[in-house]
Structure 1
Amino acid sequence: MTVTTTTLNGTSDQYLTLRGEEPKIKKIPSYESAKLVDPFNYVGETFGDGPGEDYPWADFLPHNPVRTHSEPPLELQNITDRGHFADPGHSRLRAWVKSSGGTIKDLGICVGTVIHGVKMEEMGPEERDDLALLIAQRGVVFFRKQHDLTIDQQRALGAYFGPLHKHPTYATPRRGDLDDVVVVYSDENSRPDLYAFSRAELFHSDVTYELQPPGATILRLLVTPEVGNDTLWSSGYNVYSSLSRPYQRYLESLSAIHTGYNQAASRSAEGHRIPLRAPIETVHPVVRVHPVTGLKSVFVNPGFVTRIVGVPKAESDATLAFLKDSFAQQTDATVRWRWEAGDVACWDNRIVNHSATFDAYPSLRHGLRVTPHAEKPLSVEEYEAAYGKPAKDWIKERLISLGIEGPAADDGKTKKGGFRD
């Protein structure tokens, strides 16, 4: 039997392969006997025996302890975004990368930047401040080959950006002292149910039902398939910019309900009856403004948003469906990352939605996510009142930086067809 080679510590390794040699783990179960999971609700669960006793990351395998009671609901916390202390041109970060022999390169016009040749654990406070701004501007920043980054160093970086979130329902590492770490895990015992979701529905922002949803989130993959299970990030800045001004104004007037009940129910179905915190619902603006960049971003996702407040159901459903599809369809503002073991992705949950591809079954995928809280989402009106300046549109700011004007206004006349029609 041959399966996809799994990458460990940056090299192709036979640890999880069956190529006629003596296998180091049990054989992969049949396609039918594997646990069928809905990727829409699944992040990190061990079904079966896991990857074996000699697995090097055994301390970080998922664990969901039995609880006798839930903790109290979260209260609002004072948060100051570190991006406010950054150099506008990220000069400290760029100088550090250059002095380390590394490079910084944008992957798309609107979203995605990759940094090569540095060790994240060596970043000082000034470089971290500049990184916070870069993440806020670019949506997601990737670091290759972070093999020496420990989970405690990853947590320290996350805590620098904001108080670390403890997930109310998802598994944490078996090590037992990492309640603020989420385990991202799938293996040969968890088979994605490809009929359970549409691809557009998988684009989401993490735990947006919280009073203060996450900001600059940090995910490091310990083990990843050699091919497949990529992750895509799609820009809420660009979704907003793609809309007409009347529709922008309409969305700016709206709020939506973000619920944690569906996610809690998926955990209860696996026998975890008492969550860390009871599920909640929270109302957030449909368009929020990033406090550092001042840019407007559409802030809805099909994972947690159930309806728009104060409008008829048909109108709410149609609006949410349109925005959901907008995130999934904007090829000009989506970046796709092909993971290697040791890679780190730092993304801003306030301004991007993301989705994994779930296409590499039965390969092993194992990562650790650290998730800092950010501010309570600010509507356009709230931002402009608090900061005393108008919020901005990403495409208008880009056109200004290029010294060009936007497209001409529609004159209302019939457009002549061309050979592409």
Structure 2
Amino acid sequence: MSSSPLAKILLLHYSTDNLQSDGKQIIMSYTTVEAPHFRNDLFNGTSAEDIPSIKFLIYKTPLRSLRPFYIFISVLRHQFDIFITLHLITFHLFYHSSQHTYHLKTYIMAPGRLTEEDEMAVPEIAYDINLPYNHISDEYDQSSKRRTEFPSYLPSWEDDVWFDEVQPFEYHDPALRANKSKPNLFRGGVKAKNITPKMGTILTGVKMEELSDAGKDELALLITERKIVVLREQSDFLHAGPQFQQDFMSYFGPLSIQPVSGSVKGHPPFHVIHRDHNEEEIANFFERKLTSTLWHHDVSYEKQPPGYVMLGILACPDVGGDTVFADTVEAYKRLSPTFRAMIQDLKANHSSQKMIGYARAARGTVRTDPIDSLHPIVRVHPVSGEKSLYLNSEFLTDIVGLKDGEKEMLLKFLVDHVCMGHDFQARVGWEKHSVVMFDGRSTLHTATVDYDSRIQARHLFRLAAMTEKPMSVAEWEAHLHDEQILRNVRIFEFQRELGLRHADASGDEDEIR
């Protein structure tokens, strides 16, 4: 079998318009290729059938240049064509025969850290996942300290911190311990106002730093019931320091480590988002992207992803920068019974490979190895028994059992369904010294970058408590013989139906004593 001419074209020429290369092309060259039946004049190869690998070297781009590195590919047999495409730094390998084409593996290629002798710079990577959270400069850090009320919460990039993948753990949801009437959370003077009839509640008068364990249990139950709880006027809690906040969130479950972003120095569970005079970075992002909207669950690639998530707002614009949440329970209910039955048993792969590959390419901080996890597309909440959609524009890479076109179509349909479902969404407007806690199991969310960081900064942190492994409908039904689970679900449904201790749909504030 002769080698495919496509191999030569794709190896030697690849357009990089989306890498801001002014229409130039990356020139990819090779050192050696070891594989049988490739033309010598093209690859300087060999026909020896016992040589099991192909080796390519990509170097000297006319853009800013990738550091030389090697990719090794196992060859399954001696008669084949190799089709290669390079999308930014993603390498796709296909094995082609006369009858079938198999997608063997997708490699994330990234240069290592440069030495002082290296003359080539790392390219500016178009961060497909979202706006990048990379270290800008020491000078920027110093100027930021002069402008913030919370300098100790500015992002830190510690290179000597490494974490292994979290091992499976048994989880007991604090909401299952809660007093259903919530007397420890709704003490005298606490006021509640609903954001929408079905999701989102704003609380004023709660002192988070004074909550007892019983109060935290009741807060967990309220988060399950309302999916988003906004706690206003939390200056004392936010000034209590990162260790206090970390201990507070650890009550709800082991804390997730964000693998690539800046964190609070000495506190790697903190994911810090800091936008202050980042107008050039944001402008570059919108040169490539139509919108900053990216519906996602936080770190869904974990085997036991976060169920309780806290956002603490340290500084925010007077207007703009809101976070929008979607109720994935209601999104699931809106689907027809036929469609729900079709997707009920599907599982999807969630992966951090792409995010970590980009971080390494940009010489950013990386604290963990990439993680891949299979989760059901329809999961069941262990407290409420409600079914919800569990999908992710950011980390979902595959749907088991579906072909490429099928899974792309299904994911697009479900994400579009969530995006357009304004009647099951809630928009949270930020106020300084607010804390938002939300249920990561039954909501999707997205940031909105619609503010001018030259005028006012947006500075917040995220802490995410990991909970149970997402439970499929089949797994849930297998546990329905558990009387305690049935009792909890019945109580939850009763409370939900009555709407106890929540404001009515008119939005008037109710004082709860």
Give the TM-score of the pair, scaled to structure 1: 0.79
Q: CA deviation at 1:165?
A: 1.3
SS at structure 2 position matched to 1:215: strand
Structure 1 equivalent of residue 261 of structure 2: 170
SS of aligned partner of 2:179: coil
- Measured at CA, do residues 45 and 272 of structure 1 come closer, stay the same or move farther in structure 2, by a change above 3 Å? closer
1:62-211 to 2 correspondence within 5 Å?
62-67=155-160, 70-94=162-186, 96=187, 99=188, 101-149=189-237, 150=240, 151-173=242-264, 176-189=265-278, 190-192=281-283, 193-197=285-289, 199=291, 202-211=294-303
Question: Do the aligned residues in 2 keep the contact of 1:168 with 1:277 (CA within 8 Å)?
Answer: yes
Q: How far apart, in 1, do the equivalents of 2:296 and 2:288 lie? A: 16
1:283 aligned partner: 374
- One of 436, 445, 469 as aligned partner of 1:354: 445
In 1, the alpha carbon distance for the partners of 2:200 and 2:375 equals 26
Greater RCO between the two (CA within 8 Å, min separation 6)?
1
Residue type of the partner of 1:182? H
Render the CA deviation track for 1:208-232: whole Å, top value 9, x for unaligned: 0000100111110111111111111
CA shift for structure 1 position 325:
1.0
Structure 2 residue runs without a partner (length 5+): 1-123, 499-513
> Which residue does 2:468 correspond to in 1?
375
Task: Decide which of 309, 320, 330 is 2:411's aligned counterpart.
Answer: 320
Contact map agreement 1:231 1:356 (CA 8 A) in 2: yes
Q: 1:66 to 1:401 in 2, by over 3 A?
A: closer
The alpha-carbon deviation at position 348 of structure 1 amounts to: 1.1
Question: Offset of 1:194 from its aligned partner?
Answer: 2.4
Post-superposition shift, 1:64? 1.5
CA pair 332-200 structure 1, distance change in 2 beyond 3 A: farther
| Separation (CA, whole Å) in 2 of partners of 1:38 and 1:115 | 36
- After TM superposition, give the deviation of residue 200 of structure 1 in Å: 8.5
Instruction: Tell me by how many angstroms 1:78 deviates.
Output: 1.6
1:216 and 1:347 in contact (8 A); partners too: yes
Q: Does 1:251 align with 2:339?
A: no
Query: Equivalents in 1 of 2:312, 2:321: separation in Å?
Result: 14
The change in CA–CA distance for 1:325 and 1:89 in structure 2 (over 3 A counts) is farther
The alignment partner of 1:284 has SS state of strand
Partner of 2:312: 220
Measured in 2, the distance between the counterparts of 1:204 and 1:195 equals 22
Q: How many residues align?
A: 358
Question: Aligned pair in 2 of structure 1 residues 297, 182: CA closer, same or farther (>3 Å)?
Answer: same
| Equivalent residue letter for 1:127 | G
Q: Which has the larger radius of gyration?
A: 2
Distance 1:127 1:36, change over 3 A: same
Distance 1:366 1:280 in 2: 28
Q: What's 2:364 paired with?
A: 272
Q: Tell me if structure 2 keeps the 8 A contact 1:191–1:361.
A: no
Match of 1:172, SS state, is coil
Distance 1:133 1:43 in 2: 34
The answer for the alignment partner of 1:409 in structure 2 is: none
Alignment check: 8 A CA contact 2:125 2:361 kept: no
Q: Distance in 2 between matches of 1:258 and 1:186?
A: 28
Q: For residue 336 of structure 1, give the secondary structure of its aligned residue in structure 2.
A: strand
Are 1:343 and 2:434 counterparts? yes
Task: Give the letter for the 2:201 counterpart.
Answer: T
Per-residue CA shift, 1:90-132, capped at 9, x if unaligned?
34322x2xx1x12012211221111012211111111111110
How far, CA to CA, are the matches of 2:133 and 2:274 in structure 1?
4
Partners of 1:251 and 1:267 in 2: CA distance:
33
SS at match of 1:212: coil
- In the other structure, the counterpart of 2:505 is none
> What SS is found at the alignment partner of 1:355?
strand
Distance 1:71 1:125, change over 3 A: closer
For 1:247 and 1:83, locate their aligned partners in 2 and report how far apart those are by CA, in whole Å. 31
Q: What does the per-residue CA deviation read over 1:143-168, in whole Å, with 9 as the maximum and x for residues that have no partner? A: 11111112333222211100111222
**C-alpha distance in 1, partners of 2:296/2:290?**
13
Looking at structure 1, the residues matched to 392 and 175 of structure 2 have their Cα atoms a distance apart, in angstroms, of 25
Deviations 1:283-309 (A, max 9, x none): 100000110111001000111112211
Dislocated runs of 4+, deviation >6 Å: 389-393
* Mapped contact 2:135–2:157 kept (Cα < 8 A): no
CA change 1:205–1:328 in 2 (3 A) is: same
> 1:417 is matched with which residue?
none
Q: Structure 2 CA distance, aligned partners of 1:44 and 1:307? A: 25
Q: Which residue of 1 aligns with 2:149?
A: 56
| DSSP-derived class of the 2:465 partner | coil
Identity %: 31
Residues 289 and 197 of structure 1, relative CA distance in 2, 3 Å threshold: farther
Partners of 1:266 and 1:187 in 2: how far apart? 23
CA deviation after TM superposition for structure 1 residue 43, in Å: 5.7
Counterparts in 2 of 1:354 and 1:311: CA distance versus 1, 3 Å: same
Aligned residue in 1 for 2:40:
none
Distance 1:183 1:44 in 2: 9
- 1:40 Cα offset (Å): 3.6
Specify the code of the residue in structure 1 equivalent to 2:152. D
Name the aligned partner's letter for residue 231 of structure 2. F
Alignment partner of 1:385 is 2:478: yes
Match of 2:67 in 1: none
Distance 1:146 1:44, change over 3 A: farther
Conserved in 2, the CA contact under 8 Å of 1:234 and 1:334? yes
Q: For residues 201 and 305 of structure 1, what CA distance do their matches in structure 2 show? A: 16
Hey, what's the Cα distance between the residues in 2 that align with 1:267 and 1:287? 30
- Looking at structure 1, the residues matched to 430 and 176 of structure 2 have their Cα atoms a distance apart, in angstroms, of 30
Aligned partner of 1:296 among 387, 393, 396: 387
How far, CA to CA, are the matches of 2:154 and 2:368 in structure 1?
Answer: 22
Q: 2: CA distance between counterparts of 1:261 and 1:355?
A: 21
Structure 1 155/72 Cα, relative in aligned 2: closer, same or farther at 3 Å?
closer
